[in-house]
Amino acid sequence: MGTKGQSNQSIMSDQIIFTQLQQLPDALKKEVMDFIGFLLEKHRASSQPTGTPKQPKKGKATNTELEEAIKIVQAGCDMSSFGGL
C-alpha cells in the first residue's frame, strides 16, 4: 500500500483513515468523499501560479468522480486506489 517514497508514518495515517472510513455508514462516506473533493479542489486552486485562470470543474464530473470513489470504498479497496491519499 502507498507510493514510492511515502513515509511509514504517512502509510500508517492512510491505513487509519481507511479503517475509520470503512466503519462509516454509506451516507457519511458520501460526506467524506464530498469533503475530500473540496480539499483537492482547494489544494489545486492554491497551487496554481498567480495569474493563471482557474479552470472550474463541471458539477457532473465531480459527482461522477465521487460516485466512483464511493463504489471503490464500498467494494473494499486499499488506499492505493485513491492515488496515495
pLDDT of residue 24: 92
Classify residue 64: in a domain, yes or no. yes
pLDDT of residue 54: 56
pLDDT of residue 25: 92
Classify residue 85: in a domain, yes or no. no
Classify residue 3: in a domain, yes or no. no
Domain span at residue 67 reads: 25-47+57-76
Instruction: Give the long-range contacts of residues 64-73, CB within 8 A, separation 24 or more.
Output: 65/37, 66/30, 66/33, 66/34, 66/37, 69/33, 69/36, 70/26, 70/29, 70/30, 70/33, 73/21, 73/22, 73/29, 73/33
Residues with pLDDT less than 50, the chain: 1-2
pLDDT of residue 1: 46
pLDDT of residue 68: 72
User: pTM for the full model?
Assistant: 0.46
pLDDT of residue 63: 67
Specify the number of domains making up the chain: 1
